């Protein structure tokens, strides 16, 4: 009986002009998202790869210079385009990808593409992830909203039950038919994403399988909710209005509202205050360290004692690089504290948004998607940390050289290593996505609960 | 008759529990969005006050420090790089001034680009503001999610509310079986249905503006009343609502079922509000690709490297290997070394600015082209059009931030002209006085809320005619029913 109902429902769904139009629309939108994702990935990854080589080449061929002056010329550390950015570019355009490696100052990640974007950016970036997160659920709701309600509206429910179909058989048949159609749609999108990934990288990335599994889970949640609402309301219109409202609330309202709540719960420090605090701590020291001039004098006395000489002129090494290296370390601690405070505050903001994702499976899936494609905040912070480590390493190399030489040639510049960044592996991505996965798990339970509730309502 | 329809409509709307609940939720959302927008506006004002305080403190400190050195026969007891009588030191340390874009009160209604574009810059002689700008310390993840402001509520949520409000104005009569009854009456059905939609529109819009005006008066004061921006805003938003009410009437005039009406309207909302802007974005990025700022940096560095191959080499040798500038190089920083660095920085900056100019022009011309295309094509999406209009009227459009950025760039050149002759001349590099401190160029903050550049009047007029066209067609169709 389940098979008969399943076939009947499939026939009905496929017979409607609605589905044909939807599939045409879906194919057009998929093609657009594939094109957009491909263009984004290829242009960005090529530009960043080339620029990383160019900036380093410029650094190592800068010619004869005072080592410190040459170090200020520095070079950039560019965050490579994430391996699955063709599917989801996450927050890449909002974080920037360039970290300047020069002495004294921790680099701030620059060139956020969003600052040069037009207002169209606020409508989102149309790629596979956008299609799955925003448009796909609406397709699910439009297809499934009347799966049960039509039987009441057409008065065919009595006929169905009278024809010997049990409650469970009816429910299972309809649910499976919806699942089959939705999985077909999800399959088209996943296949497009797969082709896109292979076209861009010529490999099958392990993260993709987990991503595809996540899409399937998301599809199951959406379909279960739509079918249940259709049964509970028994009205196609009301069901459509409720599901559209749920979509709107989950996709736009909760994420934006939770972002605002977290901004107010954990307000960010202003740039002016941030700079002022850093300057004060560097200049006047912390925990009774004393003013920078006092610390410089103490350093000189220590250095003179170390080399058993009486004056700076007698030192066998140059004193300026020693000062630079010393303050690089103490100022580094000040900057570390300041940046860690910002990161901690942002982590609290992010955690609050994620917590509120309990009310929106769309937000939870978006979070999962960004973690799996390594276009999330964790990866960004990881990159910033690695780039900062490289900046300090570079500072030590230059200052050590500067203690004995006043001029550096290209031979020396070549001893400073090039920067390269490896994004987190699959295990770290899954760990980062565990919160989002837990919330999606909760939504599966909620969807099952809703199905049970609606099933009990299945009576004439 | 009209009075009877009004009474009937109000009774009908109040009886609809779903609608009442929905209205209550949307009402609180509207309040929240206004509160969020106004708190962002107040936060900007408070940041600007902090900047002013900081500026006063730092300028006073600079004057006092110079006075102490002058009294001490030009001997500075601290580190030479902190000595403010060197023009180069002041240019780096206390000299950089803040350039501020004064917020416009109506930006509480539309955040626009103000969350991603800076409303103030610290203007440095060396680094161009576009390269060093990082703006306020914002969480990129939250920026990515977007803002919950008035314009978001109006552009996205209200059309859906209007759809819920009107999708079955005709179809419900058919589904409830009252259609035949109405047809047998001596009243014009077309007029009746149009009146019903019209009454709903008037009630909806009236209460909307009543709430918004009162809440805004409490949150940001009443000064916005006297601006033409506000009245344009009222006109544009009211027209947007009218468009959606009329569209709903138009869809209703096809006499389809309630579910089909709702689905059609939701599809139109999705297509014009999300799909069209995205397609436009794809097209514009293809036709006018915006080059990355990384290219600009590469050009700057390339020019700098070629300069240091010859002329720069001579200059650095002069600075670092000249006994005049150093007693024992790399151990003791001498005044000559500070001067030498000043000269190198000045020269390098001239070269970098020259090299970046071409790339910069290319970047901005592409953005300008995209913006011009958006102005042309915005009519394809009412949501995009209203967003552009609201941003322009609130002073948060890209165009206004770009005007501010251009002014800041001009100010930076003025600042450079002030410092460069002082720091790169052997006779003046250590003669920075209190009078010079008073003469440091300052940026005059101003409000950027003009909208002459936008096609505001034209686009509003076009939508006015579209709305009336739809209304006319719907009315004629209903007459035939």
Share of chain B above pLDDT 70, in %: 94
Instruction: Classify B207 as helix, strand or coil.
Output: helix
pLDDT of res. B322? 65
Q: What is the ipTM of this complex?
A: 0.89
**Which chain B residues touch A270 with a CB distance below 8 Å?**
47, 50, 136-137
Inter-chain contact A111–B293, Cβ cutoff 8 Å? yes
Q: Does B23 reach chain A within 8 Å, measured CB to CB?
A: no
Q: Phi, psi (5° rounding) for residue B22?
A: -60, -40
**Which chain B residues touch A145 with a CB distance below 8 Å?**
259
CA angle B29, B36, B401 (to 5 degrees): 125
Q: Which of residues 238-267 of B touch A (CB under 8 A)?
A: 258-259, 262-263, 266
Q: Does A58 reach chain B within 8 Å, measured CB to CB?
A: yes
Q: Please tell me which residue, A418 or B197, carries the higher pLDDT value.
A: A418
Closest in B77, B301, B332 to A58, CB measured: B301
Inter-chain contact B139–A66, Cβ cutoff 8 Å? no
pLDDT of res. B326? 53
**For B396-433, what is each residue's pLDDT tens digit?**
999 999 999 999 999 999 999 999 999 888 888 888 99
**For B148-179, what is each residue's pLDDT tens digit?**
899 999 998 889 888 888 888 888 777 777 77
CA–CA gap between residue B42 and residue B54 (Å, rounded): 18
- Per DSSP, helices labelled H in B72-188 are 87-92, 129-132, 140-145, 150-152, 158-166, 171-175, 179-184
CA–CA gap between residue B243 and residue B156 (Å, rounded): 14
Inter-chain contact B147–A260, Cβ cutoff 8 Å? yes
**Which chain A residues touch B77 with a CB distance below 8 Å?**
293
**For B107-138, what is each residue's pLDDT tens digit?**
999 999 988 888 999 898 876 655 454 567 88
**Which chain A residues touch B380 with a CB distance below 8 Å?**
none
**Which chain B residues touch A353 with a CB distance below 8 Å?**
141-142, 145
Q: Which of residues 367-406 of B touch A (CB under 8 A)?
A: 367, 370-371, 374, 384, 387-388, 391, 397-398
**Which chain B residues touch A293 with a CB distance below 8 Å?**
77-79
Inter-chain contact B152–A108, Cβ cutoff 8 Å? no
Calculate the alpha carbon distances from A59 to A77, B302, B348, B404 in Å.
12, 10, 15, 34
CA angle B86, B92, B94 (to 5 degrees): 85
Domain definitions of chain A by residue range: 2-285+318-456
Q: Which helix (DSSP H) or strand (DSSP E) does residue A75 occupy? A: strand A75-78
Inter-residue contact B150 to B378 (CB < 8 Å): no
**For B22-39, what is each residue's pLDDT tens digit?**
777 778 888 989 999 999
Mutation site for A-interface testing, chosen from B330, B344, B360 by largest number of A Cβ within 10 Å: B330
Inter-residue contact A103 to A398 (CB < 8 Å): yes
Mutation site for B-interface testing, chosen from A46, A112, A271 by largest number of B Cβ within 10 Å: A271
Burial B166-194 (b: 16+ CB within 10 A, else e): bbbbbbbbbeeeebeeeeeeeeebbbbbb
CA–CA gap between residue B135 and residue A36 (Å, rounded): 29
Residue recorded with tokens 């699959």: A426
How would you classify residue A290: left for phi > 0, otherwise alpha for psi between -120 and 50, otherwise beta?
Answer: left
Predicted confidence (pLDDT) at residue B465 exceeds the cutoff of 60: yes
Inter-chain contact A271–B134, Cβ cutoff 8 Å? yes
Min distance A44 CA to chain B CA atoms (Å): 9
Q: Which helix (DSSP H) or strand (DSSP E) does residue B385 occupy? A: helix B382-394
Inter-chain contact A116–B367, Cβ cutoff 8 Å? yes
CA–CA gap between residue B101 and residue B123 (Å, rounded): 13
Min distance B190 CA to chain A CA atoms (Å): 24
Mean per-residue pLDDT, B69-89:
89
Q: Nearest Cα to A335, choosing from A325, A327, A347?
A: A327
pLDDT of res. B323? 60
How would you classify residue B135: left for phi > 0, otherwise alpha for psi between -120 and 50, otherwise beta?
Answer: left
Inter-chain contact B160–A248, Cβ cutoff 8 Å? yes
Calculate the alpha carbon distances from A400 to A189, A312, A411, B327 in Å.
55, 18, 15, 21
Q: Nearest Cα to B149, choosing from B213, B208, B106?
A: B106
Q: Does A311 reach chain B within 8 Å, measured CB to CB?
A: no
State the pTM of this model. Answer: 0.88
Residues of chain A with pLDDT under 50: none
Predicted confidence (pLDDT) at residue B104 exceeds the cutoff of 80: yes
Predicted confidence (pLDDT) at residue B260 exceeds the cutoff of 90: no
Share of chain B above pLDDT 90, in %: 46
Predicted confidence (pLDDT) at residue B6 exceeds the cutoff of 80: no
Mean of the per-residue pLDDT values for chain B? 87
CA–CA gap between residue B17 and residue A223 (Å, rounded): 27
- Per DSSP, helices labelled H in B128-257 are 129-132, 140-145, 150-152, 158-166, 171-175, 179-184, 189-220, 228-252
Confidence of residue B318 (pLDDT cuts 50, 70, 90): confident
Predicted confidence (pLDDT) at residue B479 exceeds the cutoff of 90: no
Min distance B434 CA to chain A CA atoms (Å): 23
CB pairs under 8 A between A and B: 247
Predicted confidence (pLDDT) at residue B324 exceeds the cutoff of 70: no
**Which chain A residues touch B294 with a CB distance below 8 Å?**
47-48, 51, 76, 78, 98, 111
Predicted confidence (pLDDT) at residue B327 exceeds the cutoff of 50: no
Closest in B54, B331, B387 to A315, CB measured: B331
Confidence of residue B1 (pLDDT cuts 50, 70, 90): low
Predicted confidence (pLDDT) at residue B310 exceeds the cutoff of 80: no
């Amino acid at each position: 009986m389940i098979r008969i109902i399943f076939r009947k429902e499939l026939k009905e769904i496929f017979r409607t002009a609605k589905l044909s139009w939807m599939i045409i629309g879906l194919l057009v939108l998929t093609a657009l998202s594939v094109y957009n994702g491909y263009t984004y990935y290829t242009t960005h990854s090529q530009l960043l790869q080339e620029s990383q080589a160019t900036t380093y080449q410029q650094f190592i061929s800068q010619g004869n210079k005072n080592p410190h002056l040459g170090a200020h010329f520095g070079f950039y550390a560019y965050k490579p385009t994430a391996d699955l950015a063709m599917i989801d570019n996450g927050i890449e355009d909002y974080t920037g990808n360039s970290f300047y490696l020069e002495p004294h100052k921790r680099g701030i990640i620059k060139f956020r593409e969003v600052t040069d974007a037009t207002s169209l950016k606020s409508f989102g970036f149309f790629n596979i992830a956008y299609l799955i997160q925003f448009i796909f659920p609406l397709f699910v709701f439009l297809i499934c909203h009347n799966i049960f309600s039509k039987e009441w509206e057409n008065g065919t429910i009595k006929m169905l039950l009278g024809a010997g179909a049990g409650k469970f058989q009816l429910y299972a048949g309809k649910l499976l038919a919806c699942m089959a159609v939705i999985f077909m749609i999800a399959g088209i999108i996943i296949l497009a994403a797969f082709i896109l990934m292979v076209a861009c990288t010529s490999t099958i990335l392990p993260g993709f399988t987990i991503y595809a599994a996540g899409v399937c889970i998301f599809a199951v949640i959406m379909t279960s909710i739509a079918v249940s609402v259709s049964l509970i309301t028994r009205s196609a219109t009301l069901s459509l209005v409720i599901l559209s409202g749920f979509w709107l609330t989950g996709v736009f309202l909760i994420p934006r509202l939770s972002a605002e709540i977290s901004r107010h719960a954990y307000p960010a420090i202003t740039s002016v205050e941030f700079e002022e605090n850093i300057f004060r701590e560097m200049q006047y020291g912390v925990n009774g360290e004393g003013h920078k001039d006092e610390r410089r004098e103490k350093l000189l006395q220590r250095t003179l004692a170390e080399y058993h000489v009486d004056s700076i002129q007698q030192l066998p090494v140059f004193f300026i690089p020693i000062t630079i290296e010393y303050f690089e370390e103490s100022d580094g601690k000040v900057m570390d504290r300041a940046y860690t405070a910002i990161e901690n505050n942002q982590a609290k903001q992010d955690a609050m948004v994620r917590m509120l994702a309990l009310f929106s499976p769309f937000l939870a899936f978006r979070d999962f998607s960004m973690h799996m494609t390594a276009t999330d905040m964790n990866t960004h912070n990881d990159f910033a940390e690695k780039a900062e480590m490289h900046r300090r390493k570079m500072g030590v190399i230059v200052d050590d050289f500067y203690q004995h030489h006043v001029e550096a040639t290209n031979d020396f510049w070549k001893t400073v290593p090039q920067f390269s960044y490896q994004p987190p592996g699959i295990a770290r991505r899954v760990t980062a996505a565990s919160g989002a996965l837990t919330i999606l798990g909760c939504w599966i339970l909620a969807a099952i609960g809703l199905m049970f509730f609606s099933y009990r309502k299945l009576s004439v | 008759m009209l009075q009877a329809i009004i009474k009937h409509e109000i009774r009908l709307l109040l009886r609809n529990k779903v609608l009442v609940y929905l209205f209550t939720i949307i009402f609180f959302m509207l309040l929240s969005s206004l509160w969020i927008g106004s708190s962002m506006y107040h936060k900007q004002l408070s940041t600007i006050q902090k900047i002013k305080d900081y500026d006063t403190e730092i300028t006073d400190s600079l004057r006092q420090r110079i006075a102490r050195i002058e009294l001490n026969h030009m001997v500075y007891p601290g580190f030479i790089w902190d000595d403010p009588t060197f023009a180069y030191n002041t240019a780096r340390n206390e000299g950089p001034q803040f350039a501020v874009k004064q917020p416009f009160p109506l930006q509480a209604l539309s955040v626009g680009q103000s969350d991603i574009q800076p409303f103030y810059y610290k203007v440095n002689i060396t680094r161009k503001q576009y390269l060093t700008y990082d703006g306020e310390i914002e969480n990129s993840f939250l920026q990515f999610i977007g803002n919950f402001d008035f314009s978001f509520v109006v552009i996205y949520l209200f059309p859906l509310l209007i759809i819920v409000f009107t999708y079955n104005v005709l179809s419900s009569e058919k589904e409830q079986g009252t259609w035949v009854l109405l047809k047998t009456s001596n009243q014009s059905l077309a007029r009746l249905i149009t009146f019903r939609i019209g009454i709903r529109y008037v009630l909806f819009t009236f209460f909307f503006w009543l709430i918004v005006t009162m809440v805004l008066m409490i949150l940001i004061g009443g000064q916005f009343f006297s601006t033409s921006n506000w009245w344009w805003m009222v006109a544009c938003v009211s027209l947007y609502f009218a468009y959606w009410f009329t569209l709903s009437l138009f869809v209703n005039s096809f006499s389809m079922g309630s579910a089909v009406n709702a689905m059609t309207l939701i599809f139109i909302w999705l297509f014009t509000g999300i799909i069209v802007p995205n397609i436009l974005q794809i097209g514009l990025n293809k036709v006018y690709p915006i080059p990355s700022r990384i290219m600009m940096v590469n050009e700057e560095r390339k020019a700098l490297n070629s300069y240091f191959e010859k002329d720069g080499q001579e200059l650095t040798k002069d600075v670092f290997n000249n006994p005049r500038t150093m007693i024992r190089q790399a151990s003791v920083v001498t005044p000559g070394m500070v001067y030498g660095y000043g000269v190198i920085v000045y020269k390098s900056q001239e070269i970098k600015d020259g090299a970046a100019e071409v790339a910069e022009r290319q970047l901005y011309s592409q953005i300008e082209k995209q913006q011009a295309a958006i102005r042309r094509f915005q009519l394809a999406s009412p949501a995009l059009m209203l967003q552009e209009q609201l941003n322009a009227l609130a002073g948060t459009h890209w165009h206004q931030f770009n005007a501010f950025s251009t002014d800041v760039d001009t100010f930076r050149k003025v600042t450079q002209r002030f410092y460069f002759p002082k720091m790169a001349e052997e006779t003046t590099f250590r003669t920075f006085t209190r009078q010079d401190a008073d003469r440091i160029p300052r940026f005059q903050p101003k409000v950027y809320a003009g909208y002459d550049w936008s096609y505001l009047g034209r686009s509003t007029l076009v939508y006015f005619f579209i709305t009336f066209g739809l209304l006319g067609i719907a009315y004629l169709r209903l007459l035939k029913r």
